[in-house]
């Protein structure tokens, strides 16, 4: 399936007193990976919202393997798990600059109509760009 990689550097504000990334920040790293994955297809959250589509996260999982530290350069690899229907599912791997695996995770988001608040099918333009 379609993969994308994003790079970010751990900022001081993302760490605890020991210089270790606070666990809650990994959800933001996954979001960075997801938004860049979409951007590489020429799609943004902003453009979907203009079409009346929102993408709330309905499931998030993270397995911590090694600590990420202040000033580490992190590579977030985001992979589409399967063809999106009403939901879209991603898997993630985060590695430091030494290629050490820091964490893995998954997220599931639902395509929701901002007008009705009800689930809708994946937009056709996204499916076309994925060549399904």
- DSSP assignments along 57-120, one per residue: EEEEEEEE-S--BTT-EEEEEEEE-S--SSEEEEEEEEE-TT--EEEEEEEEEE-EETTT--B-
**Tally of structural domains, the chain:** 1
Q: Which domain holds residue 108?
A: 3-130
Q: What percent of the chain has pLDDT over 70?
A: 98
Strands 53-54 and 3-9: what pairing?
Answer: unpaired
CATH of the domain at 31: 3.10.129.10
What is the pTM (predicted TM-score) of this model?
0.93
Residue 3 pLDDT greater than 80, yes or no: yes
Q: What is the pLDDT of residues 12-69, one digit of tens each?
A: 999 999 999 999 999 999 999 999 999 999 999 999 999 999 999 999 999 999 999 9
Please tell me whether residue 3 adopts helix, strand or coil conformation.
strand
Q: Is 16 a catalytic residue?
A: yes
Q: How far apart are the first and last CA of the chain?
A: 10
- Residue 1's pLDDT is 61
Q: Are 11 and 29 in contact (CB under 8 A)?
A: no
């Amino acid at each position: 399936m379609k993969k994308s990689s994003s790079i970010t550097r751990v900022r001081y504000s993302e760490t605890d007193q020991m210089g270790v990334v606070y666990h809650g920040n990994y959800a933001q790293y996954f979001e960075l990976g997801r938004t860049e994955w979409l951007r590489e297809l020429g799609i943004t959250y902003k453009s979907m919202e203009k079409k009346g589509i929102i993408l709330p996260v309905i499931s998030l999982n993270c397995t911590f393997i090694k600590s990420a530290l202040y000033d580490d350069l992190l590579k977030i690899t985001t992979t589409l798990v399967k063809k999106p229907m009403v939901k879209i599912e991603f898997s993630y791997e985060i590695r430091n600059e030494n290629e050490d695996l820091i964490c893995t995770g998954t997220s599931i988001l639902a395509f929701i109509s901002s007008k009705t608040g009800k689930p809708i099918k994946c937009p056709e333009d996204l499916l076309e760009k994925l060549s399904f």
